[in-house]
């Protein structure tokens, strides 16, 4: 038994000494045919030998099994506690996360989020926003035309008109989305993103606009930020303003980012022009409102110090992975 080297050999040994054709088995089976006087002794000694053989087999089996386990642990080692390999996982693009951040700020102030089509009619993109057919402001937009009357929207402002056509005041909405212009350089791409804002209610003033945008600027760029309003022109607002935020790099002292001015332009805004209300049938004696529009790329560039807008759309992972 000591010479048996493995479990297969042990099984052979068992068959040989205890199997159905083994000498001992044959002997034990022939007991009834033996003379009556021999039966007790042959039975007793035969069974004794059988039990000893069985015990020896069992003992050797235990030794061989233990040896095979050690062997298996040694050679087919599988460490089930090793952490799995992580698969590469993508994440939100900086433009998407910035859009959501802007949405969250306004939703927390009670605004709802509206959407409109990217392929628009001249009416919604220009006319109902108080750009008459020959208005010079139209040429500032570098429009992609689909036909004479159909175009890729040049801003998200047409959503204002679509919202007001469907809903009576009070209106508190923002409208994020894509806009298109024939323009391409370090600060312009043919497709870009804007967030439009519109409030219409009784007694809304320019002070409400300023307070709202100050809350926004501080939530977006830090609680120390100041904003300032500069007079400007947009056809659909009167008065119109451009809004600057105090530079978050130099805190208003003047640096390269803000071109030594201490201020960074973040959006356009104003009080909704009564002509726009007339297009959607709002009573401008009863209601006033403000509107604003900002570029998501511009907000993201300022917040993260990105100096070339085209980087957002080249999908160079070395850039994308930084956010």
| Least distance between ligand DAH and beta carbon 307 (Å) | 21
Residue 145, beta-bridge partner list: 151
Cβ-based neighbours of 11, under 8 Å, separated by 6 or more: none
Q: Which stretch binds ligand DAH (CB under 6 A): 9-17, 182-190, 268-276, 298-306?
A: 268-276
The binder of ligand DAH chosen from 234, 277, 282, 312 (CB under 6 A): 234
CA 238 to chain centre: 39
Phi, psi of 33 (to 5 degrees): -90, -5
CA 34 to chain centre: 89
The binder of ligand DAH chosen from 158, 169, 270, 289 (CB under 6 A): 270
The binder of ligand DAH chosen from 114, 269, 276, 299 (CB under 6 A): 269
Quickly list DSSP for 244-292.
EEE-TTTTTS--TTTTTSSEEEEEEEEEEPHHHHHHHT--TTT-EEEEE
Nearer to ligand DAH, 57 or 209 (CB): 209
Question: Binding marks (x or -) toward ligand DAH, 138..167, rule CB under 6 A?
Answer: -----------------x-x----------
Q: Segment 84-143, which members bind ligand DAH (CB under 6 A)?
A: none
Nearer to ligand DAH, 155 or 162 (CB): 155
Query: Are the CB atoms for 165 and 284 separated by under 8 Å?
Result: no
Q: Which H/E stretch holds residue 121? A: strand 119-121
Nearer to ligand DAH, 194 or 246 (CB): 194
Packing angle of the helix pair 39-75, 7-18 (nearest 10 deg): 170
CA 36 to chain centre: 92
CA 268 to chain centre: 29
Query: Are the CB atoms for 191 and 144 separated by under 8 Å?
Result: no
Question: Binding marks (x or -) toward ligand DAH, 193..232, rule CB under 6 A?
Answer: ---x------------------------------------
Nearer to ligand DAH, 199 or 248 (CB): 199
Binding-residue total with ligand DAH (CB under 6 A): 11
Q: Which stretch binds ligand DAH (CB under 6 A): 11-19, 50-58, 78-86, 290-298?
A: 290-298
| Least distance between ligand DAH and beta carbon 198 (Å) | 7
| Least distance between ligand DAH and beta carbon 269 (Å) | 5
The binder of ligand DAH chosen from 159, 276, 291, 299 (CB under 6 A): 291
| Least distance between ligand DAH and beta carbon 189 (Å) | 14
Cβ-based neighbours of 44, under 8 Å, separated by 6 or more: none
Instruction: In whole angstroms, give the CA distance from residue 227 to residue 99.
Output: 21
| Least distance between ligand DAH and beta carbon 314 (Å) | 24
Binding residues for ligand DAH, per CB under 6 A? Answer: 155, 157, 196, 234, 237, 268-270, 291-293
């Amino acid at each position: 038994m000591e010479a048996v080297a493995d479990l297969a050999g042990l099984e052979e040994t068992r068959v040989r000494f205890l199997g159905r054709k083994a000498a001992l088995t044959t002997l034990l089976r022939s007991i009834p045919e033996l003379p009556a006087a021999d039966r007790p002794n042959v039975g007793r000694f035969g069974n004794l030998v059988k039990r000893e053989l069985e015990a020896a087999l069992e003992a050797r089996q235990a030794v061989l099994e233990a040896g095979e386990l050690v062997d298996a642990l040694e050679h087919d080692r599988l460490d089930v506690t090793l952490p799995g390999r992580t698969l590469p996982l993508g994440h939100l693009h900086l433009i998407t996360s910035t859009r959501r951040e802007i949405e969250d700020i306004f939703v927390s102030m009670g605004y709802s989020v509206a959407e409109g089509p990217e392929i628009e009619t001249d009416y919604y993109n220009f006319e109902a926003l108080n750009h008459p057919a020959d208005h010079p402001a139209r040429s500032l937009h570098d429009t992609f035309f689909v036909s004479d009357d159909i175009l890729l929207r040049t801003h998200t402002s047409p959503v204002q008109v679509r919202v007001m056509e469907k809903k009576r005041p009070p209106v508190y909405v923002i409208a994020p989305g894509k806009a298109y212009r024939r323009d391409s350089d370090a600060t312009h791409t043919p497709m870009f993103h804007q967030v439009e804002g519109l409030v219409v209610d009784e007694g809304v003033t320019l002070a409400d606009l300023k307070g709202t945008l100050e809350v926004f600027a501080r939530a977006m760029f830090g609680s120390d930020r100041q904003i300032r309003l500069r007079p400007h022109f947009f056809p659909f607002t009167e008065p119109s303003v451009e809004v600057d935020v105090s530079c978050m790099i130099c805190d208003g002292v003047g640096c390269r980012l803000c071109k030594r001015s201490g201020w960074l332009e973040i959006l356009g805004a104003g009080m909704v022009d009564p002509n726009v209300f007339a297009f959607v049938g709002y009573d401008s004696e009863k209601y006033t409102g403000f509107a604003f529009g900002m570029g998501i790329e511009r907000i993201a560039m300022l917040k993260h110090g990105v100096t070339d807008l085209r980087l957002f759309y080249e999908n160079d992972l070395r850039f994308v992975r930084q956010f």
